[in-house]
Structure 1
Amino acid sequence: MMNASSILIWNVRGLNGTARRNSVRDVILSSSAEIVCLQETKIEHMNQRVLLLVLGSSFDKFVALLANGTRGGVLIAWKSNTCQAIATRVDTYSVSVQFSEQEGRNWWFTGVYGLQDDEEKVLFLQELRNIRSLCNGPWLLAGDFNLIYQAADKNNANLDRAMMGRFRRFLDDSEVKEIPLLGRKYTWSNERMSPTLVRLD
């Protein structure tokens, strides 16, 4: 079992504007998060200065998948005084960090941003399968998948059942379990910023 640890997971829809950076920083600073995973950062050049502007000074370590122009981008950042990372990896659609607990147990966290194109979705799911085969032990997978596995998750009848089936098979094969979202159906609406805070006990 992992130690209790707070993780903030948020599709921020871009961090290039000052107002958006300030809003994100205010939410993060008011949370008790020790690990932050931001998707769709749209940042092509991530460095310590950008990290400071977005997350404040407490989050001093990070690994990032840089955006391709205005597309994508994933950032995982953590506080080194409370979280010890022992390995990281950056793939095409995701970033992963292996964290170590004081008891000597290690676990992986993968943050993802899946793209809209069907061909890329297939490649994305294969990447996640590859990551799972290489990252042993407990695994937390989170982010913006741009995929659904059940019709109830769609707000209209335009369903891609073949892709839903692929995603469902990946979830079943990987034996991952969905962490239910309490109090609302989605973590997004009308372009408003809506972070998700996950508590692991």
Structure 2
Amino acid sequence: MRTLFWNIRGFGQDGRRRQLIEYMRNKRIDIVTIQETMRTEFSISKLEHLSSDLFAWHWLPSSGSTGHSGGILLGVKDATFEVGSMDRGGFFVSMEIFERALNFKWEVIAVFGRADHRRSEAFLAELRRKVAAAQLQVVVGGDFNLIRSEEDKNNNLVNFPRMQMFNDCIADMGLRELDRVGAKFTWTNRQADPTRSVLDRVLWLRGGVRHAMPPIDPSRPSTPGNFCAKRSRQFMKGWGANVGRDIRERKKALLEAIQSLDLCTDAMGLSADEWMLRYDLEDQLTVIYTDEEAY
């Protein structure tokens, strides 16, 4: 069973849908939760195009005068789950699901906390009420837009009372955080000297959920800094030759270069030029996905 939590920052953004389709197919996703869709409505036909498998869908419309703020989409694979009741609030959508293979029933709650921290207290209060009312084991995941410790941010601009409020809420609900692999931070503001934070996380309640979640491999390359520098140089040296390759190979090369830079970021940091290179690689990948989406 595989679950995707992703802040897509605009379901209608160029290439985003194509990237989501490809990821769901390649990783064989069973549960998909998308935050910040910036959509007030979804057509069933467009949702059906996201996967060759049948999914049950539930969503929270985006808000604001133009619908360009927030929004959550939650889907579960019909072949894996039976869907029970659904719920949604101002900051979450949820489904009670029965996982056939494990004969196990639980509730998945997808959340999106707004970047406007004037609403953080209301977000956490609603989440506390939702978890307290749950009759099943729960998994809560998404973009909380809150940090838990100083290590969750790469600078000292930390609001300690807000951080304590978040940790107190998690403790009050009895939630535990699932270990995450990959890059140390989950968000950046895409600057030459970026602010980076851990804003996305998955929390679970009650031991039974541990059996429903897939194992998480915490391993990493033993020498990430050397790996990064070598792979990045190889990529840039050979990029001119790569241009004529098959699109699939180009996407693979771009993703590998981005991942190697991410490893370097955690190991020794990146220069301003290396950050701009990373953003450029992301933009090149977006262009490919956008072209594929057009055709």
Q: Spell out the pairing of 1:55-70 with structure 2 (5 A cutoff).
A: 55-68=50-63, 69-70=67-68
Other-structure match for 2:89: 91
Contact 1:59 1:77 in 2 (8 A): no
Q: TM-score, normalised by structure 1?
A: 0.87
Other-structure match for 1:180: 179
Other-structure match for 2:254: none
What's the offset of the Cα at 1:18?
Answer: 4.9
Against the structure 1 CA distance between its residues 36 and 117, is the aligned structure 2 distance closer, same or farther, given a 3 Å change threshold?
A: same
Partner of 1:119, secondary structure, is: helix
What's the offset of the Cα at 1:137?
Answer: 2.4
Other-structure match for 1:200: 213
Does 2:42 correspond to 1:46?
yes
Q: Spell out the pairing of 1:8-157 with structure 2 (5 A cutoff).
A: 8-53=4-49, 55-68=50-63, 69-102=67-100, 104-157=103-156
Partner Cα distance (1:190, 1:57) in 2? 34
Q: Aligned AA for 1:182?
A: V
Contact 2:132 2:173 in 1 (8 A): no
What's the offset of the Cα at 1:25?
Answer: 1.1
Q: Aligned AA for 2:71?
A: G
Against the structure 1 CA distance between its residues 59 and 43, is the aligned structure 2 distance closer, same or farther, given a 3 Å change threshold?
A: farther
What's the offset of the Cα at 1:104?
Answer: 5.0
State the structure with more CA Rg: 2
Query: How many pairs align?
Result: 191
What's the offset of the Cα at 1:37?
Answer: 0.6
Other-structure match for 2:292: none
Partner of 1:64, secondary structure, is: strand
Q: TM-score, normalised by structure 2?
A: 0.61
Contact 2:55 2:76 in 1 (8 A): yes
What's the offset of the Cα at 1:127?
Answer: 0.5
Partner Cα distance (1:65, 1:50) in 2? 16
**Structure 2 portions without partners, runs of 5+:** 191-199, 203-211, 215-295
Q: Aligned AA for 1:153?
A: D
* Between structures 1 and 2, the one with greater strand share: 1
Contact 1:41 1:73 in 2 (8 A): yes
Partner of 1:63, secondary structure, is: strand
Q: Aligned AA for 2:38?
A: K
Q: Aligned AA for 2:170?
A: L
Partner Cα distance (1:181, 1:38) in 2? 18
Contact 2:80 2:99 in 1 (8 A): no
The alignment's C-alpha RMSD in Å is: 2.0
Partner Cα distance (2:103, 2:182) in 1? 35
Contact 1:37 1:77 in 2 (8 A): yes
What's the offset of the Cα at 1:156?
Answer: 1.4
What's the offset of the Cα at 1:26?
Answer: 1.1
Partner Cα distance (2:43, 2:133) in 1? 27
Q: Aligned AA for 2:213?
A: L
Partner Cα distance (1:141, 1:147) in 2? 14
Identity level (%): 28
Q: Greater relative contact order: 1 or 2 (C-alpha under 8 angstroms, separation 6 or more)? A: 1
Contact 1:35 1:79 in 2 (8 A): yes
